[in-house]
Each structure stands twice: as structure tokens, then as C-alpha cells.
């Protein structure tokens, strides 16, 4: 197996990264794809009291174990499997459960801050940034966190105002400059997706 193609997909929280990735895969007719969530590489906080974990700024680069992700990506790009961590968003710490993943011809890593780390960017073949306006992202995030992560409306609003919004403009939005393609997700983006699909097929030699 030759070196897999690595694609990094960034964008604000709830901008629609996963939806856009799925659209790209469907249009390209690709099924041998490994998708990794940068969220699973949040630092372990099991040594901290729960009330302290609640204060974690998940939108700051320091919240992520990028050294571990970098090592894992190097292993996967060298065609070796890894035991990937998973994250427990209810208890605000790394889960005891690990997931063994094996390399596939295409590896996609999604995350709000995935383009922020230079070492990880240097491994990538293609960088994408999904863009959506602040209000729509907030509504999507609110619904997701209530349904999937057991959060209260009050905690979601507090977190958004104190960290999510300011960190987006400080740390996430500036990484657009590292993107090969910026995908607008508030209107039709067929052309951007078609260009990406064409490039992927070109790189993998189809």
C-alpha cells in the first residue's frame, strides 16, 4: 500500500464539516476512507475534579494533544495501525475506550483547529476550510450539544460567549490562510466540491 492521501478539514464549530466531507466522498465514489475527529485528541483531564473540567476552553489550541495526533498520523501514513483515543464530552475527559484504526488510501482529519498546527499541516496533501456565518453555527451547535452531549441551554450560551466566539476569531478563522480551498456552506458549494473531487482523483491516480 502506498502512502495514504491526507486531507485536513477545518472550520468553525458546527459549520458543517462532516456534511461537506460526506458530500465529497459520495461525489468521488470513495469508500476506502478513514475519518478521524480531532475532538478525540482533547487532553485527558481525569486527574481534575469535574467542576474544573467544566471550565476547559475547548476552542484553544492548548486543549489538544497534537503531539499524539502527529505521531498517530505518521504511523498511519507509514501504513501502520494505531490505537486512537476517544473523548467523553459528558464527563469532559478522555474516555477509557480506545479505537484501533488501520490506514486506508484516504485519511481525513476534521477539526476546528486542525489547520492551526504547523507540524500536522506539513503532513497534509490538501487543506480545506468550511465557512458558515456565526449565527447559523451557534444555532446548530446549541441543538447538537443539547441532543448529543447532554448540555443545558445556559451552559451552551455561557460557553459560546466566553470562549467559542472569541476563540473562533482569534485562533480558528485565521487558519483560512492555510486552506487550499475555502468552501462556503451558507449557499450552494457544488463547484468547490467538484474541484476537490477532481483533485483527489488526480492525486490518487484514478
In the chain, what are the domain boundaries? 5-197
Rounded CA-CA distance 128/21 in Å is 10
Rounded Cα–Cα distance for residues 112 and 134 (Å) = 14
Hey, which CATH number is domain 5-197, 3.30.930.10, 3.40.50.300, 2.60.40.10, 3.30.70.20? Answer: 3.40.50.300
| pLDDT tens sequence across 134-147 | 899 999 889 988 88
All residue ranges of the chain with pLDDT < 70 are 186-188, 206
Model pLDDT for residues 75-106, shown as the tens digit of each residue: 999 999 999 999 998 888 999 999 999 999 99
Dihedral of the CA atoms 71, 77, 80, 81 (nearest 10)? 70
Number of neighbours of residue 193 by Cβ within 10 angstroms: 19
Q: Which residue matches cell numbers 461525489?
A: 27
Contacts of 204 (CB under 8 A, 6+ apart): 5, 105, 106
According to the model, what pLDDT value does residue 31 have? 80
pTM: 0.90
Amino acid at each position: 500500500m502506498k502512502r495514504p492521501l491526507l486531507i485536513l478539514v477545518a472550520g468553525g464549530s458546527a459549520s458543517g464539516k462532516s456534511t461537506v466531507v460526506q458530500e465529497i466522498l459520495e461525489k468521488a465514489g470513495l469508500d476506502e476512507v478513514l475519518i478521524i475527529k480531532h475532538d478525540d485528541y482533547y487532553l485527558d483531564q481525569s486527574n481534575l475534579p469535574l467542576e474544573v473540567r467544566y471550565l476547559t476552553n475547548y476552542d484553544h489550541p492548548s486543549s489538544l494533544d497534537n503531539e499524539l495526533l502527529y505521531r498517530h498520523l505518521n504511523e498511519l501514513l507509514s501504513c501502520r495501525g494505531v490505537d486512537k483515543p476517544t473523548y467523553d464530552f459528558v464527563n469532559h475527559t478522555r474516555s477509557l475506550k480506545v479505537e484501533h484504526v488501520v490506514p486506508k488510501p484516504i485519511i481525513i482529519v476534521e477539526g476546528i483547529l486542525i489547520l492551526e498546527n504547523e507540524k500536522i499541516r506539513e503532513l497534509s496533501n490538501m487543506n480545506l476550510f468550511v465557512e458558515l456565518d456565526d449565527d447559523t453555527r451557534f444555532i446548530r451547535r446549541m441543538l447538537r450539544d443539547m441532543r448529543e452531549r447532554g448540555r443545558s441551554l445556559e451552559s451552551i450560551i455561557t460557553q459560546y460567549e466566553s470562549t467559542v466566539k472569541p476563540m473562533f476569531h482569534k485562533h480558528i478563522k485565521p487558519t483560512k490562510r492555510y486552506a487550499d480551498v475555502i468552501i462556503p456552506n451558507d449557499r450552494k458549494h457544488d463547484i468547490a466540491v467538484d474541484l476537490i473531487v477532481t483533485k483527489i482523483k488526480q492525486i490518487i491516480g484514478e
